[in-house]
Structure 1
Amino acid sequence: MSQIVKGVIARSEGADVEVVDIVVPDPGPGEAVVKVEACGVCHTDLHYREGGINDEFPFLLGHEAAGVVEAVGEGVTEVQPGDFVILNWRAVCGQCRACAKGEPWYCFNTHNATQKMTLAEGDPMAGTELSPALGIGAFIEKTLVHAGQCTKVDREASAVAAGLLGCGVMAGFGAAVNTGGVTRGDSVAVIGCGGVGSAAIAGASLAGATKVIAIDVDERKLEGARRFGATHVVNSSGVDPVEAVQQLTDGVGADVVIDAVGRPETYRQAFYARDLAGTVVLVGVPTPDMEITLPLLDVFGRGGSLKSSWYGDCLPSRDFPMLIDLYRQGRFDLDAFVTETVELGDVEQAFDRMNAGEVLRSVVVLDQSQLTKEEPA
């Protein structure tokens, strides 16, 4: 039987988000209903609200979430009711050309729920189907997803921290470790020290990089970057970041440079801050209007690799449990990414604080028992 729960929607482009009643159907074949315990406020959700992804309003926002499976549909074997899961937007199909080549982290045909959640009776748009952010929609008490979007992890982990692996932290960590291939002894520079960039710094440090250079224009973020493992910081509002990286790497540039901003100027900085035959990784998301011009001779003459990182090139079934294990061992500080916890009605204010650069992550807590666990410092 369908349920009516509270959730946060963006009704139209640029309008403030609203908490409304939403109808969640029973799971059909291959689907699961998940009781959401916590969900991070990611910049991608703001992109949806502003119409920067597409115009399929109204959107059910939120996607960086963890919770407990409540019910599953016919044929579901991956998870069962009671499992603690992190939601992911790469539910690999196992059949596309990427999966067939043994590269499921590039899956081109990821699964989403077939049924739609809708606005409940009494709403001016009652019955309207909602477009869930990244196929998830998790600023809601319970959400309907494809069962493959549920990755089971250790229940001992805090949902407040664990949910962040669902997008930003995994994107940054994976950009360094999976896409960039950072390994022991490498020098790494990360441009942009928000949530994604900080995760890239943490990943590079954990992978054994001996020099990790954090670059930003905000001293608060640079100070935070040291906590995640940065060995050097560069405030690019006052110095040329390319020159600074070269000076810190004996004049040659970094082995891996990660652009966690995604603008033409930062990508150019990343390109020229790397060593010959080094690697550039773009994980910051550009807007559709952005373009870049580079001398083709420089592209040829410098060699190496220019890569884009999709979701940190992660495989959720492999990477989420591994990172939760590292978190539980005290080797990967997920709690450090959580600046504040908020309620479902506070998402609009959380967007404001995110735009002002005041937070790494605000996390919406829907299960208050999660606040009895160890709070982030």
Structure 2
Amino acid sequence: MPQQVQGVIARAKGQPVSVETVVVPDPGPGEAVVRVQSCGVCHTDLHYREGGINDEFPFLLGHEAAGIVESVGDGVVDIAPGDFVVLNWRAVCGRCRACRKGKPWYCFDTHNAAQPMTLADGTPLSPALGIGAFIEKTLVHSGQCTKVDPEVSPAAVGLLGCGVMAGLGAALNTGAVSRGDSVAVIGCGGVGDAAIAGARLAGATTIIAVDVDPRKLEWAKGFGATHTVDATAADSVAAIRDLTGGFGADVVIEAVGRPETWKQAFYARDLAGTVVLVGVPTPDLRIELPMIDLFSRGGALKSSWYGDCLPARDFPYLVDLYRQGRIDLDAFVSETIGVGDVEQAFDRMHSGDVLRSVVVF
């Protein structure tokens, strides 16, 4: 029968979130109910609250989550009650044109639960990224559940559900960083630091962290940055060129989502180098560039959706690397908080005091 649990709701644009009763239905065909153990507080949740994604309020926030499968609906065979899973928001369909071309990480018809979760009065909720995990239990499509080794910290591996995977994948998948490459990362929050960790894992020999916050530059060193650039004290493009023999970096990853930082990334790459945009811009932002610069510099300009990851492939692999000590996922967890502390976590995010606050149930 349906369950009533507590979840974090954004009722209106720019308004503080609230903890309210949510009705979670029994799983239907292809669906699963997951008892959430942890959920990271991501900038995307703040984008939802600010109306930067869409205006389909009220939202059930939260999406970087790990937990235990409680029940499954008809036809579910890949997971079972008791499995420890990381939730993902790109449950591939296997049938669309991207999937048929063998590129399921671009799936154009990803799955979500068919049934809505609702407020106690029956108002349907829009779950953030089709998940909604600032809640004790959530309803998702079974394909959004990736089974991983249970002998790990939920707070750490749950971050693979969005930000950390986005950064790692921007370097490993989208940017295809390889041994000996030079890499610059502009914006050293959680996603940017994950990109730095990914570049180190791939064998990059020069990894340049760029930010305006000295604290974030210190954090970046811990994830593998070999050089740092304080963008308030130096020209970022000139500094990256100076650190790469005057040429520019082979791969520049923009993890801010602003026109000015994307332009820095564009001009800080080597000829025929790659720019990867993984920072999420708001719909109003625009870029203007001389067309001759686009032509004459060559190379690739890429956007990284969720690190171009395939959860069934990448999550277990990265959890194995975490267990081996080759990726320090614990270092991304700045603090653990309760479900009633999300609004305060947004404030700390704004001030740059944390990489990730993680709600623990």
Identity %: 76
Equivalent-residue separation in structure 2 for 1:78 and 1:348 (angstroms): 35
Give me the whole-angstrom Cα distance separating, in 2, the residues matched to 1:342 and 1:35: 17
Q: Deviations over 1:277-312 (max 9, x none)?
A: 000000001111111111111111111000000000
Q: Does 1:142 align with 2:127?
A: no
1:250 is matched with which residue: 234, 245, 255? 245
Counterpart check, 1:289 vs 2:284: yes
Q: Find the residue that maps to 1:34 and give its secondary structure.
A: strand
1:14 positional shift: 1.1
Alignment of 1:161-310 (within 5 A): 161-310=156-305
Q: Deviations over 1:41-62 (max 9, x none)?
A: 0010011111111111110000
Alignment partner, residue 160 of structure 1: 155
Shift in Å at residue 100 of structure 1?
0.5
Output the amino acid matched with 2:48. Y
Q: Secondary structure at the match of 1:99?
A: helix
Give the distance between the partners of 1:267 and 1:18, measured in 2 at CA.
Answer: 35
Question: Does 1:317 find its partner at 2:324?
Answer: no
Aligned residue for 2:252, secondary structure, equals: strand
Q: SS where residue 78 of structure 1 aligns?
A: coil
Residue by residue over 1:176-225, the C-alpha shift from the partner in whole angstroms, topping out at 9 and shown as x without a partner, is 11000001100000000000000000000010000000000000000000
Distance between the aligned counterparts of 2:15 and 2:259, measured in 1? Answer: 29
Distance in 1 (alpha carbons) for counterparts of 2:213 and 2:351 = 11
**CA distance in structure 2 between the aligned counterparts of 1:144 and 1:131, rounded to whole angstroms:** 12
> Could you tell me how far 1:262 is from its partner in structure 2?
1.0
Q: What's the counterpart of residue 113 of structure 2? A: 113
Match of 2:70 in 1: 70
Q: TM-score, normalised by structure 2?
A: 1.00
* Equivalent-residue separation in structure 2 for 1:294 and 1:332 (angstroms): 37
Which secondary structure state, in structure 2, belongs to the residue aligned with residue 114 of structure 1?
Answer: coil
User: In the alignment, residue 104 of structure 2 is paired with which amino acid?
Assistant: P
Q: Which runs of 4+ in 1 moved over 6 A?
A: none
Q: What is the letter of the counterpart of residue 89 of structure 1?
A: W
Code of the residue aligned with 2:324 in structure 1: it is Q
Tell me whether 1:48 sits opposite 2:53 in the alignment: no
Gaps of 5+ in 2: none
Letter in 2 for 1:26: D
Deviation at 1:157, TM superposition (A): 1.1
Q: Deviations over 1:229-282 (max 9, x none)?
A: 000000011110000000000100000000000111001000000000000000
Could you tell me how far 1:12 is from its partner in structure 2? Answer: 1.1
| Offset of residue 11 of structure 1 | 1.0
Task: Name the amino acid aligned to 2:332.
Answer: F
Query: Counterpart amino acid of 2:190?
Result: G
Q: Distance in 1 between matches of 2:244 and 2:25?
A: 56
CA distance in 1 between partners of 2:166 and 2:230 (Å) = 23
CA displacement 1:324-360 (0-9 Å, x = unmatched):
0000000000000000000000000000000110000
**Structure 1 stretches of 5 or more lacking a match?**
121-125, 367-377
User: After superposition, what is the alpha-carbon deviation per residue over 1:50-82, rounded to whole angstroms, capped at 9, x for unaligned?
Assistant: 111111111000000000000000000111000
Q: Which of the residues 325, 328, 334 maps onto 1:339?
A: 334
- State how 1:4-23 maps to structure 2 within 5 Å: 4-23=4-23
Please give the alpha-carbon distance, in whole angstroms, between the structure 2 residues aligned to 1:145 and 1:295.
45
Q: Whole-Å Cα distance in 2 between the matches of residues 73 and 108 of structure 1?
A: 24
SS at match of 2:238: helix
SS at match of 1:319: helix
SS at match of 2:151: coil
Partner of 1:330: 325
Deviations 1:312-332 (A, max 9, x none): 000000000000000000000
| Matched ranges for 1:116-135 at <5 A | 116-120=116-120, 126-135=121-130
Aligned position for 1:123:
none
Cα distance in structure 1, aligned partners of 2:150 and 2:159: 15
| More displaced stretch, 177-186 vs 286-295 | 286-295
Partner of 1:375: none
Tell me, what secondary structure is at the counterpart of 2:209? strand
- Matched pairs, number: 361
Q: 1:128-177: per-residue Cα shift (whole Å, max 9, x none)?
A: 00000000000000000000000000001110001000000000000011
